[in-house]
Structure 1
Amino acid sequence: MDRAELVDALVAEAERANERRLLVLAGDRDSGFDAARDALAALDDPDATTVSTREDADYHPEHVAELLGTTRDAVVLDCHEDFSANRLGRVVGAVDGGGLLILLTPTLDDWPDCPGDERLAVPPFTVDEVTGHFRRRLVETLRTHPGVAVVDVDTGAVERDGLTDPIPPQTCAVARTPPDGAAFPDAAYAACRTGDQVDAVGALERLGEAGNAVVVEADRGRGKSAAAGLAAGSLAADGKDILVTAPTYRNAAEVFDRAAALLSTLDALDARDDHTLTATGGGRVRYLDPAAAIDLPDDPDAVVVDEAAALPVRRLTSFLDAPAVAFVTTVHGYEGTGRGFDVRFRERLAEHGHDVTEVLLDEPIRYAGGDPVEVWAFRALLLDARPAVDQLVADATPDDATYRVLDAADLTADEHLLREAFGLLVLAHYRTEPDDLHRLLDAPNLDCRALSVDGHVVSVALLAREGGLSPSLRESMYEGQRVRGNMLPDVLTSQLRDLHAGAPVGYRVLRIATHHAVRSSGFGSRLLANCHKEFASEVDWFGVGFGATPQLVRFWERNDYHTVHCSTTRNATSGEYSAVMLRPTSPDGQSLHDRHARRFCARMRDGLSDALDDLVPDVARAVLRATAHEPIPDLTAHEWRVVAAAAYGPGLYDAAPGAFRELALASLVDPLDAHSPDEARLLVAKALQAHDWETVADDLDYVSTRQCMRAFGEASKPAIERYGSGAAEEERRRYD
């Protein structure tokens, strides 16, 4: 069989089975493009797209995300330049049933040893130190997986024909009629393409009544966003106000397109303007990004959260305050992972008291079930990686665990080990991409360590080596240049103006995750302790940066990490302020830590009444308690008399607000601080964030401002007695 005959056979088989086929054209780049043009010519007037850095390409690789939500008969992906795992995942989803995905690659024997991806060459590492484990594993899947044809374009030899002789899919009529008693119009159900979609739209009818939550889960290509759009359009046609949110509007575009189409069918679309659909009866469908949507502006009747797994739990939880809410999410995907959504958010959903309805869409819309290209992509990119099943680790204790190195060669050689480890790393973050797998296997600055029990991974940590930068690179960073893969030195240098912060070498803990069946039982701390022991002599510090919550800050503090920074802007996706914590391991690391801990306390004294005046008081207290610097209040004798008089007598806070701020800061940082949570919130909100008495009293549930002021005086007394001068003591005795 020659190349032309192969293409004809692949296309014929793909069309007959309503599946896709993958054609690898390996060898010289120009010859590969010539072969791709010949292959496309064999298709009948195809809607085809080429992704390449070449000028004649339809899309540059940097813009390939624009293909999401679109379909093509064929997509050609040039893997010779600017290849990434993310881009591969995105183009796979754009190929329709009966179509071809064509990869142009170097000779498969040579591809793993080609120069590595420069994006993985984190300074001070060079591109020569980037390995080829990811591509070696990818090549193995191309050579062994059904539905993948390989042609050597240099010799013309067909190395694999990729033919599977599939059984044609059984076609059956989809029940497009509304279920009995349906509230949505018939047109919504007529627009469904599968029985699963009909079920999903039926479940989403519950958004018409308050107190309901609907969870819609599916892999890509199952029509979950379309179902959400049909539901949103139906509700808007009934006069309801539907707020739609997603990580970006692009993620929610299908919701709006389907809602608009349905409203047009119903002759109910009044206007479509800038992310808003207005229905003739006054209902509407409107998009807001997550940061704006969490406040539920204009009191929507229902909220639809698309790509919900790509948002953090804290942000998802805020949408439970809506009268009704739908969480629409991808089970396996690079925008976010449904497994993380299941484990991390389900508990919050169950606790909130909503009547929860769940629906799973399994039947593909654009190609037949069991499509070999989808199965190949899941394996090659580990989109369905998951930890060991609960029963295998549920009874494990930290004493049972073995500390082990998970280097890239071991992970590549052991698919079971790789899937369990990567599956846990997926759970450690609300957004995990195929590029994360690429970095895990090839980036020279990363180290992976784990605890295993009976051969199963129960806890895993991913560490990134940072710092050790040359003087010239540190100068560039200080002057504003971004340096890849050096997050903590970058923050300390460019934002906090420390020219020498990039000199010491450290390990940043990128992710740490423990199997949910044994969470909160000490595995995470045991794993960190082993990492510290292994690497302490090699580096100056360990560090971490994360969206700050009291629980997370306490976890890191218990493991001897201390706060040196709190960001002054919220993360656009998580909505949280980030904390940076360090654990010094050498004199240079200690010096770095000490100067930034000292500056952190000084910044927080005034920053909490400025950029951080909306920081949750419990978070503020947590990051302050976790610093290792202890500021001593420096008050004049007059200021000591004022604060003592306000606490013990008729004095006024407004006579010396700065003195109270100094006192509150010292008190909350003090490792001996014994304030109750309510007292600490009061000190943060009034003394440090400088909110007015009425706001503080209302936010903290005091019955009156007078009661709030008295409580503030009581909360100030321990610090006055601990730090106060003779003037404070004299004033206190006056009222005793």
Structure 2
Amino acid sequence: MSTTAINAFLRELKHLGWRCPILIKGDQPFRFQVAQDIIAQQAWSNGITPDTFSNTNKHIQAYLGQEVDYVWFDNQQFLDIDVMCALVGSIKHGGALILTLADDFIEQDTTSVNSLPHPYNQQKNFYSVYFARLWQLTSKTAGCIIQNQQMLQINPVPQLPQTAFVQPSGLTQDQLALVEKLKKPKTNGHYFIKADRGRGKSTVLAAIVAEYVKTNTQVVITAPAKRCLTTFYYWLKQWQVDLAKVCFVAPDQLTQLLDKASLINQVLIVDEAAALPSQLLKSICHQFKSVIYATTEQGYEGSGKGLSQHFIKQLAQSKQLQQIHQLTLPIRWALNDPLETWLNRVCLPNEATNANAIQSEQITFAIVKPCEQQHDVWADIFALLSQAHYRTTPSDLKHMLDSPALKTCIGQNNRGQIVAAMLLSTEGALEHDLITQVVFGKRRPNGHLIPQIIAAQSGITEFAQLKGLRVVRIAVVESLRRQNIATKMLKWLESNSPDTDYIASSFAANAEVSNFWIKNKFTLARVSTTAEHHSGLFSSVYIKLLNQHNQAILDQVAQQGLRQLNFYLASHYQNVDSALIWLWLGQFEHNNISYNFDLVAGFAHHSTNLYAALPDLNAYCRATARLIRQQLDQRQQHILAEVVLKQRGLNQVAVQNQLTGQKQLVKYLRALIKQLLQQMESV
């Protein structure tokens, strides 16, 4: 089939500085021949072909930050939505994203079978609502090319620029102005650079760092992974910057360096900040006099807007936020690029239409079933979840639409606006033989996170036989938060899940989120013994029974979790926020904890020294965690946890809390214990 019309259209797009998606559907010989003809006639020499990837995206970092003429995926060889979204940013103007698709790519999708939950991953293929939606939206989006064995469709672009596109050869005026502002900030504090893909963010970061290095300023840079900094390091090498003065530290390792006083005089740069949890950013940012955050809020590292919704607002409220800068003009292609428009509409719907939703008298909840016709509904749901969660990725939309184990619950007001959303995963009800294999480490069935954790890490196999729902994501539009809508949605779910034994959630723990689940009467079942690599935070599992006949099983799970928590307080959990530690301990009844009351009282009244009383003080504090949370302020709780629970050195605790030394610290602790004992007597 002739590709003359396609090539003419592509030449016009190149003149205008644009790119486009090309979808070719048919049997393999046909679709490959059409793709190869287009590549040859366009004289594209630098591209990514279906042979580049096998079944994984492990080589993706080799292409990030590079410029290519085209990226070509075939659905029967390798097509990963996250990888596709990542590599689209590498396509330069005049290039294209080529998707070659089998005739039955919608009806017999195989691209996500391996990631489906057990037992659905034993199927060979399944119907894809996501791909049906993709095909329909592509047919209606300007600048897209669709070719099959019967017809060719080229969607015209309604408004064409009047002048040809010229790609900048150096830093643009906007970039230079931003470098000038940030190379030597007038005020120490927090600065943000926001930009979509292809806006030159990495180049600006490199230019800023180059200026700092000239003044012998030590720079610490962190990112979710070092591969995110490919373009950044490319420009540093081009400009011959002394890399010895630029130190990369992984996020989880950075939290371990916070006690080093030398960090105070260094500049911290956080790239891809939106892909990191706000709690982690809080813990690291205040240790540096200047912090520059750079981020996109959509793309391969995460589509979440939690950074804007939470962390930036908190900095502004505390008067620590200095400036937010935006890079809006693309560098690699012209404005209004058809490929970028298509990508944002089909794969990354990120703008919620109901951001300013007004509270209605009644919000109704329902489980919504995937449907390729409901474009706006699913765009709103995905956008809402993206804005509330930092780790939402493009492929999450495909899982939401295609996975038979996922359910989506929405809350709508009287005007039909989606004001809340909750993504649920059906888990558990595992066969006895499979559970045994999980316990012995022989199997890790997809899609059963909570049963697998409990069976393998707690040794309680009965729990994996129960049928549960895991809350994967839950979000409410910003204007309606703190009105108990999320709580009402959970209660609705409890009332409308007759065949479910429990509801659970697993997340990177911080005090605010943990408190939400505790207030909704969820029980802490387990805290991980290893911090998450990307965040430095520990995962926690919370469970609420819907079938009270299983209370004995949950009690057993919770007690095992408490034993592990108590055992690791002074080792694994030394860097956990003290407020979170007390929150964890305060959830449990500690009637079975024994301690020598005379030693505790003796310490409070100066007759017993700290180290003689410390084992019993530890037991006493764990047994009275709820009282401690009620009676002591944040600083008092922190100091008590540091010495008694985490068993840190006295000199270290004294210095960190502005006390003169061990003597004053011990005196302070005696007063706290005395206060608690007096409160117990008055109850």
Q: Does 1:197 align with 2:192?
A: no
Q: 1:240 to 1:688 in 2, by over 3 A?
A: closer
Q: 1:593 to 1:723 in 2, by over 3 A?
A: farther
Q: Does 1:310 align with 2:266?
A: no
1:117 — aligned with what?
Answer: 112
Q: 1:357 to 1:654 in 2, by over 3 A?
A: closer
Q: Does 1:503 align with 2:465?
A: yes
CA-CA distance at 1:382 after TM superposition? 2.6
Q: Does the CA contact (< 8 Å) of 2:75 and 2:105 recur in 1?
A: no
TM-score (norm 1): 0.84
Q: Does 1:658 align with 2:615?
A: yes
Q: 2:207 aligns with which of 230, 233, 236?
A: 230
1:42 — aligned with what?
Answer: 41
2:238 — aligned with what?
Answer: 261
2:10 — aligned with what?
Answer: 11
Give the 3-state SS of the residue equivalent to 1:444 in structure 2.
coil
**Which residue identity lines up with residue 445 of structure 2 in the other structure?**
V
Q: Does 1:491 align with 2:441?
A: no
Q: 1:594 aligns with which of 545, 552, 555?
A: 555
Q: Does the CA contact (< 8 Å) of 2:274 and 2:306 recur in 1?
A: yes
Q: Deviation string for 1:150-196 (max 9, x for gaps)?
A: 222xx4x333134548635635889x9xxxxxxxxxxxxx831x333
Moved more, 88-97 or 368-377: 88-97
* RMSD between aligned residues: 2.9
CA-CA distance at 1:340 after TM superposition? 2.6
CA-CA distance at 1:98 after TM superposition? 0.7
Q: Does the CA contact (< 8 Å) of 1:120 and 1:444 recur in 2?
A: no
**Which residue identity lines up with residue 333 of structure 1 in the other structure?**
G
2:58 — aligned with what?
Answer: 63
CA-CA distance at 1:435 after TM superposition? 0.8
Distance of 1:678 and 1:354 partners within structure 2: 21
1:91 — aligned with what?
Answer: 87
Q: Does the CA contact (< 8 Å) of 1:123 and 1:469 recur in 2?
A: no
CA-CA distance at 1:563 after TM superposition? 1.0
Give the 3-state SS of the residue equivalent to 2:291 in structure 1.
strand
Q: Does 1:382 align with 2:348?
A: yes
Q: Does the CA contact (< 8 Å) of 1:216 and 1:361 recur in 2?
A: yes
CA-CA distance at 1:212 after TM superposition? 4.4
Q: 1:39 to 1:598 in 2, by over 3 A?
A: same
Distance of 1:236 and 1:442 partners within structure 2: 49
Q: Does the CA contact (< 8 Å) of 2:304 and 2:388 recur in 1?
A: no
**Which residue identity lines up with residue 143 of structure 2 in the other structure?**
G
1:247 — aligned with what?
Answer: 224
**Which residue identity lines up with residue 408 of structure 2 in the other structure?**
C
TM-score (norm 2): 0.91
Give the 3-state SS of the residue equivalent to 1:611 in structure 2.
coil
2:327 — aligned with what?
Answer: 361
Distance of 1:196 and 1:338 partners within structure 2: 26
* Percent of aligned pairs sharing the same letter: 22
**Which residue identity lines up with residue 111 of structure 1 in the other structure?**
I
Q: Does 1:606 align with 2:567?
A: yes
2:76 — aligned with what?
Answer: 80
Distance of 1:553 and 1:83 partners within structure 2: 37
Q: 2:132 aligns with which of 132, 136, 142?
A: 136
Q: 1:597 to 1:714 in 2, by over 3 A?
A: farther
Give the 3-state SS of the residue equivalent to 2:411 in structure 1.
strand
CA-CA distance at 1:333 after TM superposition? 2.2
Moved more, 368-377 or 335-344: 335-344
Q: Does the CA contact (< 8 Å) of 1:13 and 1:165 recur in 2?
A: no
Moved more, 508-517 or 311-320: 311-320
CA-CA distance at 1:417 after TM superposition? 2.0
**Which residue identity lines up with residue 201 of structure 1 in the other structure?**
V
CA-CA distance at 1:699 after TM superposition? 4.1
CA-CA distance at 1:485 after TM superposition? 1.7
Q: 1:525 to 1:324 in 2, by over 3 A?
A: same
Q: 1:645 to 1:360 in 2, by over 3 A?
A: closer
Q: Does the CA contact (< 8 Å) of 1:387 and 1:424 recur in 2?
A: no
Moved more, 705-714 or 516-525: 705-714
CA-CA distance at 1:672 after TM superposition? 10
Q: Does the CA contact (< 8 Å) of 1:541 and 1:582 recur in 2?
A: yes
Q: Does the CA contact (< 8 Å) of 2:219 and 2:247 recur in 1?
A: yes
2:247 — aligned with what?
Answer: 286
Q: Does the CA contact (< 8 Å) of 2:106 and 2:127 recur in 1?
A: no
Q: Does 1:467 align with 2:463?
A: no
Q: Does the CA contact (< 8 Å) of 2:427 and 2:451 recur in 1?
A: yes
**Which residue identity lines up with residue 202 of structure 2 in the other structure?**
S
Give the 3-state SS of the residue equivalent to 1:101 in structure 2.
strand
Q: 1:115 to 1:222 in 2, by over 3 A?
A: closer
Distance of 1:114 and 1:507 partners within structure 2: 26
**1:298-697 superposed matches below 5 A:** 298-299=262-263, 301-317=266-282, 318-337=284-303, 339-354=305-320, 356-386=322-352, 388-390=354-356, 392-393=357-358, 396=359, 399-409=361-371, 412-453=372-413, 454-480=415-441, 481-535=443-497, 537-587=498-548, 589-627=550-588, 629-635=589-595, 639-648=596-605, 650-668=607-625, 674-697=631-654
Q: 1:211 aligns with which of 185, 188, 191?
A: 188
Q: 1:533 to 1:206 in 2, by over 3 A?
A: farther
2:152 — aligned with what?
Answer: 159
**Which residue identity lines up with residue 684 of structure 1 in the other structure?**
A
- Count of equivalent residues: 672
Moved more, 663-672 or 374-383: 663-672
Give the 3-state SS of the residue equivalent to 1:609 in structure 2.
coil
Q: Which has the larger radius of gyration?
A: 1
Q: 1:482 to 1:701 in 2, by over 3 A?
A: farther
**Which residue identity lines up with residue 610 of structure 1 in the other structure?**
S
Give the 3-state SS of the residue equivalent to 2:301 in structure 1.
coil
Q: Does the CA contact (< 8 Å) of 1:130 and 1:443 recur in 2?
A: no
Q: Does 1:103 align with 2:81?
A: no
Q: Does the CA contact (< 8 Å) of 1:217 and 1:359 recur in 2?
A: yes
**Which residue identity lines up with residue 18 of structure 2 in the other structure?**
E
Q: Does the CA contact (< 8 Å) of 2:18 and 2:93 recur in 1?
A: yes
CA-CA distance at 1:479 after TM superposition? 1.7
**Which residue identity lines up with residue 406 of structure 1 in the other structure?**
V
What are structure 1's unaligned runs of at least 5 residues? Answer: 177-189, 272-276, 279-283, 725-736
CA-CA distance at 1:120 after TM superposition? 4.2
CA-CA distance at 1:494 after TM superposition? 1.8
Give the 3-state SS of the residue equivalent to 1:325 in structure 2.
strand
Q: 1:630 to 1:261 in 2, by over 3 A?
A: same
Q: Deviation string for 1:50-89 (max 9, x for gaps)?
A: 034xxxx467652352322121112211112442221221
CA-CA distance at 1:433 after TM superposition? 0.8
Distance of 1:45 and 1:458 partners within structure 2: 46
Q: 1:164 to 1:696 in 2, by over 3 A?
A: closer
Distance of 1:558 and 1:98 partners within structure 2: 55
What are structure 2's unaligned runs of at least 5 residues? Answer: none
1:733 — aligned with what?
Answer: none
